[in-house]
Amino acid sequence: MKKPLSIAFLLLIAAIPTFAQLSKEDYRPLECKGEIPEVFLRLSSEISKEINEQNQYATESKRVRKQTENFYEMSNFMLDQILLSGDILFGATLTRYFNKIGKELMKDNPELQKKVTFFTFKSPHVNAFATDQGYIFVNVGLLAQVSNETELAFVLSHELVHYREQHNIQEFLETDLIKKGKGKYRYTSTSDRVNSYYQYSRELETEADKEGLKMLANTNYNIKKAKGLFDVLLYSYLPFDEEEFDRGFLGNSSFEFPEKYFLDSVKSISARDDVSDELSTHPNIRKRRDAALKRFKKLQKSSKGKSTYLTSKEEFRYVRDIARFEIIRQNLLMHRYDRAIYNCFLMKEDYPNNKWLDKCLIQALSGALAYKEQNKSSEAMSYYKKVEGYSQDVSYFLRKIKKKELAITTTAKAYEIYQKYPDDKYLAKYAEDLMYHLISFYELSLEDFTRDKEDESEDEDGDDEESASAESEDDEDEDEDDDEELSKYDKIKKKKSEDKEAMSDDEKYYYLNAFRSFFKDPDFEIMFEKAYSRYQKNTDISESERARMTKQAKKREKMIAKKGEALGIDELVVVDPTYLVIDDRGSNSKVNYAQSEGKKQDLKDKISDISSDIELKTTLLDPKVFDYSQTKEFNALMKMKEWISEMSSHEVDSVNSILLEELNQVSNSFNTPYVAVPACYNFTINENKGKYIWPMFFVVTIPWAIYKMVTPTEGTYIRFYVLDLKSGNSVFDEEYVFLHRDSDANVNSCLYDSMSQIKRR
């Protein structure tokens, strides 16, 4: 007989938080949990073949059968790309939540339950979509914005109808008829066919709304609570909440920013629900709302005694907060730094001491600084004149603040956060690196922040305003007795000078107070001096040592030009390679899906064979050879893909990633920080064949000319680059381009060249 559990043990169990993903103090980014679903592990070509075999007798029309085969070949390949993108989550907290709602929606249809699976899509956009294979993807952006669970359930019911009624394949087949002008579109004009496409798509969306509401009415949800969804859709382009930005949020107890860095009033929110939907696949919000309200009235009797939430309002708010934290993570990965800062501000009200949120704030500020210093702010931040609502203040601030001031602000905020978590090595390094940047890039020292304001010269940024003030003062001294009328340019300089004088000292030199509150902390001076010593070590180099280093660098350049790199790397992790075969001859590029997948498998084999030949130890992260239990390896691969996507989309250098801390744990498990990313693209392209007409006049060259005239021109692009997980930097990047088909010999030669350089000492 089992012994009863002790009271102490029961109390311990009760003390464990119900929700472990997110706490007031920290957050763990979402990862996949449990066994890997079969669809992630199978080749898309295998799945397509099975589906098409099942459907081959579903219709007698040869055209429909062929188009159906094309549809499933395309959709399964695209599904595979989505599943392995790094953005999809199975078994995670949010995924379980979506599946729980889905189960309630399908409780009267057990057959449908067997066919449908929900996944979380780590996208900040307010959306959800269904595939014809029964997979429904729900964006974190949608969950972050809905006001209650019933609104979310309405969206999921809408997507379930799309799947149940097979709207995707219907739309694909109808679109094919429209494009080719066949069937009932045979005698219609091009413009009429375009209108028909949009009209048909809107009809499917209207049907999904109508049938989705019916499905929702048959559940335990109070259907009246779903009405707010249309407001969610209308204002989806705004952040997930609307709160006036606290202008002291980015400062500290020692200083605040001048009013000139903020707007007198932000731009009003101008969303309209009646915009033209003539060229839209969805009806506008007003039409959808009006049609839905009529159905709400018919179905509202079924809402009596029903609830807004399946379990509790607390659980809904918890999962919504997780989605909002994930939105901030996505803001950073997509370089939307102004949006990330505003969203951090919004979440700080409920999570004032959350370490992960603090780290995101520093990441956003330093990312904005990197882009600003390289004069590419527009690539990473919204143009403030196009931003509506309170978040406009953040976009305006980041555009107007000077580079040096933003660097000081970011460093001060980093150290302030480090003070909260002094044992965190990541934050300590971040703060020191930012101090080093201040010293090396802006030539600042501690003395610049401790001397009196009266001794401070003009702003070291050398602004046009300040230069103009100095020139104006000089002119006044020289022309003191000159009675001539001031020119337009003199007036401009004089006005700038007066504006400068009108500013208080606090406004002129506010940023010099940024570190004042830290001077009582002995660790601050120690860290700053450490950064300064690092700077001196890199600059105090003797002439003989500098000459030696220059000579060594030139020697290395010559060797690289002659033989290539010699990195001396013995072990490498190879991320799931990319291989695409693309026909670029028509107006739209077409991917040969089956051939691409087969070539990708060949590429993996080539990498393994060459690794063995040159004794380079490689770990190929290939999800198609994982078994169901290798979720840890799968998560590692997905994190790497997220990081590679982030790094490849940056427009500037030296931007740290929020993923680096997560990736450090990954690199430790693989015994190497080096990650290889191979990619190959084979293009069939248009070429002017006119140049082959002349050889047709010579008997000897006729066969060659005919061959050239009828043979498509192909080109191949191969890239093999290696990233260092520890530093976040690229250590090797080799590209190969040639106007030939991607023969085994060509691909092998390029791979061998790259991998030999990586291995060679």
Of 162-171, 264-273, 299-308, 718-727, which gets the smallest average pLDDT? 299-308
Percentage of the residues of the chain whose pLDDT score is greater than 70: 82
659/665 Cα distance (integer angstroms): 10
Per-residue pLDDT of 157-188, as tens digits, reads: 999 999 999 999 999 999 888 888 888 888 88
> In which band, very low, low, confident or very high, does the pLDDT at 16 lie, cut at 50, 70 and 90?
very low
Identify the sign of the CA torsion 160, 165, 169, 172: negative
Q: What is the pLDDT of residue 63?
A: 81
Q: Are 460 and 445 in contact (CB under 8 A)?
A: no
Residue 417, φ and ψ in degrees, nearest 5: -70, -40
**Pairing verdict, β 117-121 and 571-575:** unpaired
- The tens digit of pLDDT for each residue in 20-40 reads 699 999 999 999 999 999 999
Q: How confident is the model at residue 546 (pLDDT cuts 50, 70, 90)?
A: low
Q: Tokens 């003797």 identify what position?
A: 542
Q: How confident is the model at residue 538, as a pLDDT?
A: 79
What is the average pLDDT across 301-326? 93
Angstrom distance (rounded) from CA 307 to CA 223: 9
**Side-chain-side CA neighbours of residue 314 (13 Å):** 2
**Coil, strand or helix at 109:** coil
Estimate the crossing angle of helix 337-348 against helix 313-333, to 10 degrees. 150
Contact in structure between 380 and 392 (CB atoms under 8 Å): no
CA dist 441 → 445, 460, 573 (Å): 11, 12, 35
Task: State pLDDT tens for residues 196-242.
Answer: 988 999 999 999 999 999 999 999 999 999 999 999 999 999 999 99
Q: Which two tokens stand for residue 719?
A: 């890239």
- Please, what is the end-to-end C-alpha distance for the chain in angstroms? 67
For the segment 509-518, what is each residue's pLDDT rounded down to a tens digit?
677 788 988 9
pLDDT of 59 higher than 90? no
In this prediction, residue 531 carries a pLDDT of 94
CA distance 654 to 433: 11
Distance CA 148, CA 136 (A): 20
